[in-house]
Chain A
Amino acid sequence: MTLRVCGVTFRYGSVEALKDVTLEVREGEVVSIIGPNGAGKSTLLKCVLNLLKPAGGAILIEPHGNVARMRGVERAKLISYTPQVEAPSAPLTVLEFVLLGRKPYVGRTYGEEDLRIAEEVLEELGLRNLALRRVSELSGGEWRKALIARALAQKPKVLLLDEPTNHLDLKHQVNVLELIRRLSRAKKVATLMAMHDVNLAVRYSDKIIALKKGKITYCGHPNNITANLIKELYEVNVEVIKGSDGAPVIIPKATSGTSAL
């Protein structure tokens, strides 16, 4: 199973938000999209979800077919999506929230199977003791995991995540990304996520895609990221050094003329 984005172009009115974007994510792979605000990261995810209709190109999930031609329920069984959500607002318990991921599979009520799957996912993410807690009472890290649990309960082939580490402390950033990488491999899910934190993206992804003004400027292994690439992308001077494990670490440099303050 492979997610293929083929020459996708998208316009908001007359503004081109995505220009001829081509990429692929294989099963078990974690691919991060990096780039400045407004580069089109979220737009790309929404195009894959068929929430936004591309002006050109196609999004394929092989061997299942073209996403644009699928019925909503059919698509929902293949692709799950976790948006940037700052705080939980739904008046639901965690279990009910996770069960909503079973929506594409159920009629008007949940079956034994759905409860079992929700159960398993909660167990996997270490949320089982919180199952009957209201989502509004969760901490930031727990809420993020609940979001991922709901996405996994959908049993997707493609996992789309928009800023999965937003508003998390360092421990939970690492925690959540390790979880995503482990589950992607174990469940053979193709994971595509938009990331702001370049260092975390580099450390936890199999492939990095750099997007600037809707165009891909780099697509490849995280270890090949260079200072020039980052400078071009974010218009910031950086230094790239090798960490003890060989993975690059990106350190921003103070712009000339401004003090360290």
Chain B
Amino acid sequence: MSCGCGRREGAYASLTRRRVATLAGLAALLTLLTITSLSVGTATLTFASAARLLAHLIFPVGAPPIPQDLMRIVVELRLPRVLMGVVTGACFGVAGTLLQSALRNPLASPYTVGVSASAAFGAALAIILGAGVVGWFGEYFIYTNPYAVVANAFVFSVLCAAMVSALALVRGVTPGVTILAGISMTYLFSAATSLLQYFGTSQQIAALVFWMFGDLGKAGWLDVEVTATVLVTCFTVAMLMSMDYNTLLLEDDVAHSLGVNVKRVRAATLAMASLLTATPVAFVGVIGFVGLLAPHIARFLVGADHRYLIPASALTGATLLLGADTLARTILSPLILPVGVLTAFMGVPLFLHLLLKRGAKFW
């Protein structure tokens, strides 16, 4: 008996080891991709010097490994874009996982709470009417200070997520109600955006469409810092709650019988997912599919235990988005494609492949 137990404990330990190894592999992949992404562009670096540059930025000892002017291009233009890709992808990955688990629905994504449509509405309000919560500075200000659009998009997406959460909480936070509330808010805000577009000039509409495409090139250092702060905070809280998320894989009643306050976990999830989505969307626009796809790939790789699934989703999301953006920058260089288009082009075939491979047992 005791030796039998030992064998099985070994099995669990090897399961854990495999998961940790997978996480390490994902982290290594993301690091390689980050260096590659830093090296490509109109001013090309070799992979080795990009790696040395990154090392120099993290441990600033000795002389910079590349010429001063090239260094400025990379650090001020390329690096924020690359890091924004990493941070945004991680945000979407974590938000997607938390929502899929808390709502117990494989179709949930960061946009399930209506963030994409409401952010677009906020941006439209700023771009077309020059109005909204921070739009009273007038049109001139908006065109010269993109942060008016950013703040508007953020405020409206948080507002929408708060309304969805409130609706869900009033009705007892059942997953179905939350998803329906999110869908109806999406319709409401889409209709409002269409109405605004109807009255906009063609330049304004073009500006709005460009905003809605989702583009990491808009990101500056401040955007990266703000988004990274949100990511680190929510990630830490989510990891502290990972065991609670594990019990939500069972029925609500069973999670309750295991001592978990299901309502509280769900409310916390809605709040975190809203922040994790609204923040990057406000800065870089709507980038689809990463938040739906990354959790599924991560679950495929490490299983459903949230102690591994949450970090795996963050790494997968970051890798997917950064990979798509690197392609978007290079595939038709010097033309830069909107990354949102690429994520869908790359993601859908991959997703369908996984679905066909795992079939009914996917979720």
Contacts and interface: CB of A to CB of B under 8 A. Distances in A.
Given A108-B240, A136-B361, A76 B258 contact: yes
B259 A104 contact: yes
A49 B8 contact: no
6 contacts: A82-B254, A83-B253, A96-B304, A101-B258, A106-B243, A108-B240
A137 B4 CA distance: 24
A27 interface: no
A204 B8 CA distance: 33
Q: Which 4 A-B residue pairings sit nearest by Cβ, starting from the closest? A: A76-B259, A81-B257, A72-B259, A73-B259
A255 interface: no
* Chain A: interface size category: 35 or more
A109 B361 contact: no
Contacts of A128: 4, 8
Interface stretch (A18-26, A58-66, A84-92, A223-231): A84-92
Contacts of B305: 92, 96
Contact of B304 (A71, A81, A92): A92
A93 B303 contact: yes
Interface of B: 1, 4-5, 8-9, 11-12, 15, 239-240, 242-243, 246-247, 249-251, 253-254, 256-261, 299, 303-305, 307, 360-361, 363
A91 B301 CA distance: 12
A108 B243 contact: yes
Given A79-B257, A132-B15, 10 more contacts: A49-B253, A73-B259, A74-B259, A75-B259, A89-B363, A95-B8, A101-B258, A103-B259, A108-B307, A128-B8
Interface of A: 46, 49, 51, 71-77, 79-83, 85, 89-93, 95-96, 100-101, 103-104, 106-109, 112, 115-116, 119-120, 122-123, 128, 131-132, 134, 136-137, 154, 160
A92 B1 CA distance: 25
A137 to B, nearest CB: 7
A51 B242 contact: no
Contact of B12 (A82, A92, A95, A136): A95
B8 A131 contact: yes
B15 to A, nearest CB: 7
Contacts of B363: 89, 91
Contact of A49 (B4, B239, B256): B256
A51 B251 contact: no
Contact of A96 (B253, B256, B303): B303
A222 B261 CA distance: 38
Given A103-B259, A119-B5, A90 B249 contact: yes
B299 A119 contact: no
A100 B304 CA distance: 12
Contact of B5 (A76, A83, A116): A116
A115 B15 CA distance: 13
Contacts of B257: 49, 51, 76, 79-81, 160
Most buried by B among A91, A96, A122: A91
A134 B11 contact: no
A104 B257 CA distance: 9
A73 B258 CA distance: 7
Contact of A103 (B4, B243, B360, B361): B243
Contacts of A123: 1, 4
Contacts of B361: 91, 134, 136-137
Contacts of B299: 91
A112 B10 CA distance: 11
